[in-house]
A and B are shown apart, each in its own frame.
Chain A
């Protein structure tokens, strides 16, 4: 077999090196992307767990409110310390601060009892400054420790005063010491600042509040028993958990996003499978004659089949190895984009210290890539091996190899369509992403299956129309396309799927953009929106004190100011949801666009919410937890359980898990949170927007780092964030499109080049080069056009299914469906130009050789 491989396979693979490279790259692209996504997904989780472990240190238990983002009274420490098995109860307050001169440079501020230095060791943080210097400088409550990497990047050193933007405004802090960028500091990407607890509480607007208590127990303590005791002693809204459990809550949230990334990367492997299938089918037709000759001199079908499958195995292995080799650097390249995207979607900071490589996983993915190569090559290998030796001499071998019966395919199409519809129904019903991914795969497969009967159906009308429009060239083009309908169908399907994927992602992005535009430009519309420049990792700006609102109302030209506070870590059962607290003005019935309330009415809901006696819930929360008007929602707050009757169901985008929209007064009263994220400013009639904006900056600019955005700028801000959130998907899409275009180009070129003899004969009877070119461009252009029409239809439906069903389960956001007409137009042009170029390139090659050479072509 090795000799056959060397003598038969190697020369043929070498001769058609472009096609061989396409097979290898088909596997390599898919494997590389899955390996990269897998590494990133693993790294995010490993880093996340490590951060949580470092924060927890030797603590056996943690006390938090929800997932630790909603503060609770400091007095809880004393209660915890009363337990006989508790050795230490260490409080922690944390928040986001930023460099005042560059508010995009944010740091995680930890308020800890670090004077004892125990805490620093607990966080695996090592100071670069000597202990004596550290203790002396830290007597100053304005002292802060930053990492050496941050200090170096910011150009500051110990003793230097630095302006920081904190929730309480801009404050000058002194660099009291430096932290080595290892341990927790490294896990946070060097963006760590540590202060004394009381000072941090003041700066973060959390006076007397803490976010977490880490509990260190006696060595022989029964952790479960202590936990039970504390749960009984502490208010019911507080949770006593092992650190690892808290991590799992986040991991659950991330799982759906990571599943989507894995799904998308798998789509790339599916594309690879399709490319290999096409390429090996094309190669099969080219190699049919050789295989027939081998059969003629005594090669058995089984031996040829083994030979072709070994080829597939070798190429698959090469592709998988290349994929693994490319996957690791690709993970480095994509990690920033993906963690940024996750940050935007989940409002969390996912700084990555290092990539977590688990050798077993790339190997496993590589094996999957090889299996894909074997599966995709199987069909062509079987056909070739079973080729009748006598058919090797047939002039119409390609057509012989291309015979497909339409009826079974139509039946299969209907079966696949039915199964995918059932899968999507189950996804919606069972809230299961797995069913959705399965449904999507079946739906895509159905497109491949239906393309061949579609081409067969079109053969009649197009065989009449093309000659009518393009004369003899059209006639030859139609003849060529429709005598090998299976191959034409496969090419059409490849084009259709590429267009469909492109339309799906474009429509997804457009739908998200438009939904957010109608949210921020409708329900939350304002002439100006004032917020901090820095964000907490995603789109949500860091909090500001609510006195900013009072100061804004004093500015000339401002009619009203409505403040808004978003709490993104509100616990709801085992889940994390969002709270949106808004001032009364926001609940005026006239602010709700028509049809905004999916359940309830703007008038009644506004009245009840303003009175603090009820709340609206987002459509996603309503759907996820089956909550409707008339039900109640129970929320844990620092002052106990808050039960609010639901008076409305509205679209809302503050949290992927759903949100509760309530009066900010209630938030201040029950959550004891006086901070705000945004101030929505309405101007007096005739007031100049620029003048007011400039006045705001002048009056408040020296104390807060603010951005003051007009409505259009705010919408642009969110559009840019959506683009950031979808950036990884765009990268994946680009890869899929590049590989697919290469495959389509190969298919079109191959189907034309193998007809060189026929084209030469056409030239013998008088067709000039122009006629040959026209015919081939018409042929490839027509295939492109059919594929594009199929792609638009499939893309439109796929986008509708994804946005209506799948996307809701994947990311939790409910967005309105908007078809990306503009982008589709570009894809149409791109595909038509690409396919016609392929036809032109093939024509150039066909006409370059002499007529006699063409006739002699075997």
Chain B
């Protein structure tokens, strides 16, 4: 489903060059829920950018559903994000001038889906995240947790093969974060969507079946977790 083969990503050149990802290789199977951990600047977000086709690798190969990202044109990578990859970010990235339902439907509108179908799928996505009652609200009138639910609904509405979640709980309190993680996990289990989660927080990383730990762009640790939901009291002290 997602395969990295000796992938490196270098920003800049000469003495100021920064190796964000360094000779990274892994393969995420379809329907898996993996987490990426590591300190700031370890290259976690760059891994997501590479998968979403937002930036090409400097060397190596990134394959998504069997297609080499590096060979994709700008339009093809845009289509990939529109149809196959749902992206959830820490800052929600909602369009402030659109209502919640319009935000959710935007990828479908961009894809030229008929409005009637857009409405149906948006309704379904909002129900999945329990936000139907806030459909007509603008982002500024929603709490951080609600905005993130809308962002997840936007990722889900395209019925993606992959959800990339970059610190989705970073702007939320513990309870809100847990609710969002429960939701992502539920979606993963229900729809068999592949999830790659970037997080600093070991509690949320524990939602994944497997955790990769990056340091300076290299894979430092690869842990497979037992197949059970995380204990509720794990993060209370934190």
- B95: chain A residues at CB < 8 Å are 8, 290, 293-294
Residue in chain A with minimal CB distance to B78: A300
A856 → chain B closest CB, angstroms: 10
| Residue interface bits A650-680, CB-to-B below 8 A is 1, else 0 | 0000000000000000000000000000000
B106 touches A7 (CB 8 A): yes
Q: How distant is the Cα of A373 from the Cα of B20 in the complex, in angstroms?
A: 43
Q: Which of B52-88 contact A (CB under 8 A)?
A: 54-55, 74-75, 78-83, 87
Q: A132 on the interface (CB 8 Å rule)?
A: no
Residue in chain A with minimal CB distance to B166: A393
B87 touches A303 (CB 8 A): no
A3 touches B98 (CB 8 A): no
B109 touches A298 (CB 8 A): no
Q: B49 on the interface (CB 8 Å rule)?
A: yes
The residue from B49, B78, B89, B98 contacting A7, defined by CB atoms under 8 A apart? B98
B83 touches A298 (CB 8 A): yes
B54 touches A393 (CB 8 A): no
Residue in chain B with minimal CB distance to A9: B97
A301 → chain B closest CB, angstroms: 6
A298 touches B111 (CB 8 A): yes
- A175: chain B residues at CB < 8 Å are none
A393 touches B74 (CB 8 A): no
Q: A389 on the interface (CB 8 Å rule)?
A: yes
Q: B102 on the interface (CB 8 Å rule)?
A: yes
A-B contact count, CB below 8 Å? 67
- A337: chain B residues at CB < 8 Å are none
B109 touches A7 (CB 8 A): yes
Residue in chain A with minimal CB distance to B98: A7
- B74: chain A residues at CB < 8 Å are 300-301
B81 touches A298 (CB 8 A): yes
B75 touches A297 (CB 8 A): no
B54 touches A390 (CB 8 A): yes
Q: A4 on the interface (CB 8 Å rule)?
A: yes
Q: How distant is the Cα of A301 from the Cα of B82 in the complex, in angstroms?
A: 13
- A301: chain B residues at CB < 8 Å are 74, 78
A294 touches B97 (CB 8 A): no
- B109: chain A residues at CB < 8 Å are 3-4, 7
B236 → chain A closest CB, angstroms: 28
Q: How distant is the Cα of A298 from the Cα of B111 in the complex, in angstroms?
A: 8
B97 touches A290 (CB 8 A): yes
B106 touches A297 (CB 8 A): yes
Q: Which of B75, B80, B89, B110 has the most CB of A within 10 A?
A: B110
B106 touches A11 (CB 8 A): no
Q: B149 on the interface (CB 8 Å rule)?
A: no
Q: A302 on the interface (CB 8 Å rule)?
A: yes
Q: A15 on the interface (CB 8 Å rule)?
A: yes
Q: Given A7-B98, A7-B109, A12-B97, A298–B82 Cβ distance below 8 Å?
A: yes
Q: How distant is the Cα of A290 from the Cα of B238 in the complex, in angstroms?
A: 34
Q: How distant is the Cα of A282 from the Cα of B54 in the complex, in angstroms?
A: 26
A298 touches B97 (CB 8 A): no
Q: How distant is the Cα of A15 from the Cα of B154 in the complex, in angstroms?
A: 23
Q: B107 on the interface (CB 8 Å rule)?
A: yes
A296 touches B81 (CB 8 A): yes
Q: Given A3-B115, A4-B109, A7-B98, A297–B49 Cβ distance below 8 Å?
A: no
| Residue interface bits A378-399, CB-to-B below 8 A is 1, else 0 | 0000000000111011000000
Q: Given A297-B82, A298-B82, A299-B78, A390–B107 Cβ distance below 8 Å?
A: no
A288 → chain B closest CB, angstroms: 13
Q: How distant is the Cα of A388 from the Cα of B75 in the complex, in angstroms?
A: 13
Q: Which of A295, A296, A297, A390 has the most CB of B within 10 A?
A: A297
A297 touches B81 (CB 8 A): yes
A297 touches B107 (CB 8 A): yes
Q: Which of A262-302 contact B (CB under 8 A)?
A: 290, 293-302
Q: B93 on the interface (CB 8 Å rule)?
A: yes
Q: A858 on the interface (CB 8 Å rule)?
A: yes
Q: How distant is the Cα of A665 from the Cα of B75 in the complex, in angstroms?
A: 87
Q: How distant is the Cα of A684 from the Cα of B111 in the complex, in angstroms?
A: 95
A390 touches B111 (CB 8 A): no
Q: How distant is the Cα of A762 from the Cα of B91 in the complex, in angstroms?
A: 23
B103 → chain A closest CB, angstroms: 9
A390 touches B49 (CB 8 A): yes
| Residue interface bits A1-25, CB-to-B below 8 A is 1, else 0 | 0011001100110010000000000
- A388: chain B residues at CB < 8 Å are 54
| Residue interface bits B105-149, CB-to-A below 8 A is 1, else 0 | 011011100010000000000000000000000000000000000
- A15: chain B residues at CB < 8 Å are 97
Q: How distant is the Cα of A701 from the Cα of B15 in the complex, in angstroms?
A: 97
B107 touches A293 (CB 8 A): no
Q: Given A296-B81, A297-B106, A389–B97 Cβ distance below 8 Å?
A: no
A855 → chain B closest CB, angstroms: 14
Q: B96 on the interface (CB 8 Å rule)?
A: yes
Q: Which of A184-205 contact B (CB under 8 A)?
A: none
Q: How distant is the Cα of A708 from the Cα of B177 in the complex, in angstroms?
A: 94
- A290: chain B residues at CB < 8 Å are 95-97
B78 touches A295 (CB 8 A): yes
Residue in chain A with minimal CB distance to B81: A298
Residue in chain A with minimal CB distance to B87: A296
A303 touches B54 (CB 8 A): no
B98 touches A302 (CB 8 A): no
B110 touches A297 (CB 8 A): yes
A11 touches B87 (CB 8 A): no
- B154: chain A residues at CB < 8 Å are 297
A858 touches B78 (CB 8 A): no
- B75: chain A residues at CB < 8 Å are 300, 302
B119 → chain A closest CB, angstroms: 12
A804 → chain B closest CB, angstroms: 53
B43 → chain A closest CB, angstroms: 14
Q: How distant is the Cα of A299 from the Cα of B108 in the complex, in angstroms?
A: 10
Q: How distant is the Cα of A302 from the Cα of B110 in the complex, in angstroms?
A: 12
Q: How distant is the Cα of A858 from the Cα of B94 in the complex, in angstroms?
A: 11
| Residue interface bits B41-57, CB-to-A below 8 A is 1, else 0 | 00000000100001100
Residue in chain B with minimal CB distance to A16: B97
A294 touches B54 (CB 8 A): no
A11 touches B82 (CB 8 A): no
Q: How distant is the Cα of A300 from the Cα of B83 in the complex, in angstroms?
A: 13
B91 touches A393 (CB 8 A): yes
Q: Which of A382-431 contact B (CB under 8 A)?
A: 388-390, 392-393
A299 touches B97 (CB 8 A): no
- A294: chain B residues at CB < 8 Å are 95, 106, 110
B146 → chain A closest CB, angstroms: 16
B75 → chain A closest CB, angstroms: 5
B210 → chain A closest CB, angstroms: 26
Q: How distant is the Cα of A12 from the Cα of B98 in the complex, in angstroms?
A: 9
Q: Which of B147-184 contact A (CB under 8 A)?
A: 154
B99 → chain A closest CB, angstroms: 9
- B81: chain A residues at CB < 8 Å are 296-298
Q: How distant is the Cα of A3 from the Cα of B54 in the complex, in angstroms?
A: 25
A823 → chain B closest CB, angstroms: 45
B96 touches A298 (CB 8 A): no
Q: How distant is the Cα of A390 from the Cα of B56 in the complex, in angstroms?
A: 13
- B78: chain A residues at CB < 8 Å are 295, 298-301
Q: Which of A133-176 contact B (CB under 8 A)?
A: none
- B102: chain A residues at CB < 8 Å are 7
The residue from A298, A302, A858 contacting B79, defined by CB atoms under 8 A apart? A298
B53 → chain A closest CB, angstroms: 10
- B98: chain A residues at CB < 8 Å are 7-8, 11
A394 → chain B closest CB, angstroms: 11
- A392: chain B residues at CB < 8 Å are 93
18 A-B residue pairs with Cβ-Cβ distance under 8 Å, sorted by A, are A8-B95, A12-B97, A15-B97, A293-B95, A294-B110, A297-B87, A297-B154, A298-B82, A298-B83, A298-B111, A299-B78, A300-B74, A300-B79, A302-B75, A303-B110, A389-B54, A390-B55, A393-B89
- Other A-B pairs beyond A297-B154, A298-B80, 16, CB < 8 Å: A3-B109, A11-B97, A11-B98, A12-B97, A293-B95, A296-B93, A297-B81, A297-B82, A297-B87, A297-B106, A302-B75, A390-B54, A393-B89, A393-B91, A393-B93, A858-B96
